[in-house]
Amino acid sequence: MLKYLMARNEDIPPGSSAVYWGFSAIVWFVIGTGLGAFNAAKLAFPDFVTGLEFLSFGHMRQVHVMAVIFGWISMAFGMAMMYITPALGNTKLWSEKLGLWNAFLWNVGLSLGLTVLWWGMNSGREYSDFPWFIDLYILCFMCIPLGINVWMTIIHRKTQGIYTTNWFFAAGTFMISIVLIVGNLPEYFHLTGLTEAYLTWWNAHNILGLWITPVAAAIAYYTIPKVTGNPLYSHRIGHLHFWSVVVFYSTPAAHHLMSAPLPEWLKSFASVEGVLILVPAIAFVSNILMTMQGKWNMFVENLEIRFTVTGCLMAIPLNMQGGFQQTRAINWYIHGTGWIVAHAHLALLGFSTFLEVAAVYLGMQTIMKRKLWSLTLGNIHFWFLLIGFTTYWVSMTIAGLIQGAGKIYEVPYIDVVIAEHPYMIARWLGGSLVFTGNCFWLFNMWMTARAGTVIPQGRMPHELAYER
Amino acid sequence: MNFREYKIGSRFFALALGGSMTITLFMPSLDIGSVSATEIAMDKQLWAGHESGFSLEDPLLLGWHKPYKVLLKADPKTGQPMDPTYAYVYEKGTPFPGGILHPDNLGPAAKKLSIDKGHILEANKNAGAVFMVKSEDQKQYYIENATATLGWTPEGVLKTAGDENTQHAAAGKSLFVREGCWWCHTLLPEQTQDWQVFGAPPMLGDFNGESPTAFGSDRKAPDILHVASRNASKEWMMLHFFNPRLVQPHSIMPRFDYLWGPVDASGKKIDFAKWRAEYNEYREGKRITPPEVPMYASNSEIRNLIDFVMNLK
């Protein structure tokens, strides 16, 4: 891929940048989940690798989070945008060269950012932990170029209308840039106190709500109709989903600070808006599941559909939790416990990752014109991810309920730590399973590129039978 | 894009996102911006300094250019004994906290007193300054620039107080951020149920000028906003940081023995490998007592961290 960085735009084969984004995403996924499993081991066995500052939990914890959010998830989004946006506009990507450079700068910037974060250079603000010069880099050299490529491709489309997926891609790339500018104002202009605390969570909430959630859903709006051959069940429900995301998902940031002394009206407002997140959630899930009508056999037979539908199904518990756990009635019990950690993984490792994995599987096969090398490895990947994630989620949810009870009934803290220990081990096992599954995936994708059966011109990957 | 629907759509989009940001950013900023700093906020920003996370003055979070909180028992100018008083020492080149740089941050009443009586606008970063938190009626607090009002110099105050009465709490808070203590220990007792165990939740004006607030979100360990009120033993802290399982066998906290640095208080090299080997023997029952934890040097990082923890009252 790197040889095309200096080539003329016309000389770069279409789809090159998508492949670069895709492989980068998978590698970051392996790194991110590997770090996660390592961190989990430290919580289960505190003397596992000890005495080294750079392998300590406090230094590595957020490297895992940022590697997953900006490495895996966002680069998988980039991959999806590089091939879905032009496909839906019946055109070519506006600039393959910009796409390649963007992926290259993304990898360089993220490696640099994670290195300084690992070193301990951080802002002390959750989800915007990078020091401000890295934040600026992410904005200017990672997010804005991606947005320009997506927007220009949509503007130069050869279709009259714009399909649902592309609304979300266009809005998502725009909104993440706004969020990163506003959310990092405390670092750029040294805002302090509650302003800093609130903007920290405004930023964190909106990275999730205006970038990860809508773009992941947009991918499913492409994958399901494309592979099943069914048209999207309802364009109008798609509208409802889009507009309710913008209105209801951008407003509840304060529900992350329900126990902080923020203005009470703000907390109440955020809490109500937080329940209304169920509107886009129900619109999305029902639209996708209705689109599956008559094609449910593919849920079993086709890997991409299985991943996507599983992700959509996980959106149901995710949003039921998300809508109600932030109300005062429930938040006082589970705030700050492992329940929230489980919920965050349900969002990023359950719902969103499963949709992105499907997009990367589908996109890589389509662009490289190679059938997936091994269905067996694909199945192993699916089940390792699902069982690993479920183990993680169940164990952390239980641990969270224990912590919540300990908090309410004022149990000495150490008794909570003792009670949680088995669940910490289960969490580590689940995380390790996810990591192992991803290693298989990387190998499978590599073999697909090298030795997958060539897909004939005009055929889709799912029209060919699996061979291994 | 010449499509009437998209023109309408993009206007609605601007309206929706702009409306959302008006409600969630602009309106709260009016409320939060009008909050006056409490005594706690003045104390906290003065001992923690300008910035505890990444900054150009301290890019690697090593505790460079940080103020000191000292307990004065004698007047640094005259040497006469006086009632024990806390002072915050900003040596030459140490950046001032938010309330000094932007007195609006303190709220109208404290701003007026701090400027008129406290002379905070006369503080000069290139010369350094000594600050105190003052109040005449024990209700309205303000910041006093003792360098301007009393002629105290940073060097003089540090010398009078002596090392044992000097707290490196600001450098310690940088360590709290750098080492990721806040991934497990929150600094935010919850309003609903933490009063009995972790103490009073903070109030509205308790954060003015503090950066970052580092509340933390994932409480894998006790809240420590008031930890020094529960446990004020430096010895316990020292054992606990070196190896938490010395004092709490079930703790899952990492060891922070690497913050001791290479040598102990007497300048002797610390043999970590030997210590761990002996500790393992103790754990296996081959020794009756665990090995001795070395006393930390006064310029070690662990000293800063313990000073920080001791300040969380």
- The owner of tokens 């000292």 is B70
Give the number of A-B residue pairs with CB atoms closer than 8 Å. Answer: 219
**DSSP conformation letters of A129-162:** -S-HHHHHHIIIIIIHHHHHHHHHHHHT-SSSS-
Asked if A193 and B178 come within 8 Å (Cβ–Cβ), the reply is no
Nearest to A308 by CA among A208, A230, A227: A227
Nearest to A408 by CA among A325, A327, A336, A342: A336
Distances (CA, A) of B216 to A259, A285, A335, A425, B251: 12, 33, 11, 23, 19
**Would A12 be classed as within a structural domain?**
no
DSSP state string for B226-240: THHHH---HHHHHHH
Write out pLDDT tens, residues B249-261.
999 999 999 999 9
Residue B1 pLDDT greater than 60, yes or no = no
pLDDT (tens digit per residue) in A333-344: 999 999 999 999
Residue A114 included in any domain: yes
Scanning A153-192 for CB atoms below 8 A from B yields 155, 160-162, 171, 175, 178, 182, 186-187, 190-192
Which residue type does A466 have? Answer: Y
- Whole-number average pLDDT of chain A: 96
Length of chain A: 468
Which of B17, B45, B207 has the CB atom closest to A197's CB atom? B207
For residue A413, the chain B residue with the least C-alpha distance is B222
pLDDT in tens, A346-357: 999 999 999 999
Q: Give the number of domains in chain A.
A: 1
A54 part of a folded domain: yes
Name every chain A residue with its beta carbon within 8 A of the beta carbon of B188.
259-260
Confidence label for A159 from pLDDT (cuts 50, 70 and 90):
very high
Read off the pLDDT band of B3 (50, 70, 90). Answer: low
The residue-averaged pLDDT of A286-313 equals: 97
Distance from CA of A262 to the nearest CA of B (A): 7
* Residues A446, A450, A453, A457, Cα dihedral to 10°: 100
Average pLDDT over residues A195-222: 97
Q: Is residue A455 part of a domain?
A: no
> Which among A184, A174, A172, A149 is positioned nearest to A73, based on CA atoms?
A172
Residue position matching structure tokens 């126990």? A259
Quick check: B53 and A124 CB within 8 A? yes
| pLDDT(B271) > 90 | yes
The enclosing domain of A203 has a CATH number of 1.20.210.10
pLDDT tens digit sequence for A136-148: 999 999 999 999 9
Question: What pLDDT does A167 receive?
Answer: 95
Q: Which residue has the tokens 């990898």?
A: A107
DSSP states of A14-27: TTHHHHHHHHHHHH
Answer for the pair B225, B190: CB distance below 8 angstroms, yes or no: no
A403 touches chain B (CB under 8 A): yes
B244 touches chain A (CB under 8 A): yes
**Dist. CA A91–CA A432, nearest whole Å:** 41
Are A129 and A203 within 8 A, CB to CB?
no
In-domain check, residue A457: no
Share of chain A above pLDDT 90, in %: 94
User: Is the confidence metric ipTM above 0.85 for this complex?
Assistant: yes
Across the range B303-310, mean pLDDT stands at: 97
Confidence of residue B191 (pLDDT cuts 50, 70, 90): confident
Task: Measure the CA dihedral B77/B78/B83/B84, to 10°.
Answer: 40
Say if residue B279's pLDDT is above 90. Answer: yes
Give the pLDDT of residue A93. 97
pLDDT of residue B193: 80
- With contact defined as beta carbons under 8 Å apart, do A432 and A392 qualify? no
Nearest CA in chain A to B258: A51
How much is the average pLDDT of A20-25?
A: 97
Which chain B residues touch A175 with a CB distance below 8 Å? 17
- Residue A51's pLDDT band, with cuts at 50, 70 and 90, is confident
Structure tokens at A121: 């250079």
Q: Can you give the residue range of the structural domain that contains A77?
A: 2-7+17-448
In a domain, A113, yes or no: yes
Range A275-295 average pLDDT: 97
What does the CA dihedral B183, B308, A407, A66 come to, rounded to 10 degrees?
A: -10
> Is there a domain that residue A329 lies in?
yes
Q: Could you tell me the pLDDT band of residue A249, with boundaries at 50, 70 and 90? A: very high
Q: Rounded CA gap, A304 and A382, in Å?
A: 10
- What phi and psi values does residue A370 have, to the nearest 5 degrees? -130, 130
How far is the CA of A254 from the CAs of A184, A202, A308, A326, A365, in angstroms? Answer: 16, 7, 31, 10, 42
| DSSP β-ladder status, B81-90 and B166-167 | unpaired
Does residue A453 fall inside a structural domain? no
d(CA A118, CA A115): 5
The token duo for B108 is 């109208």
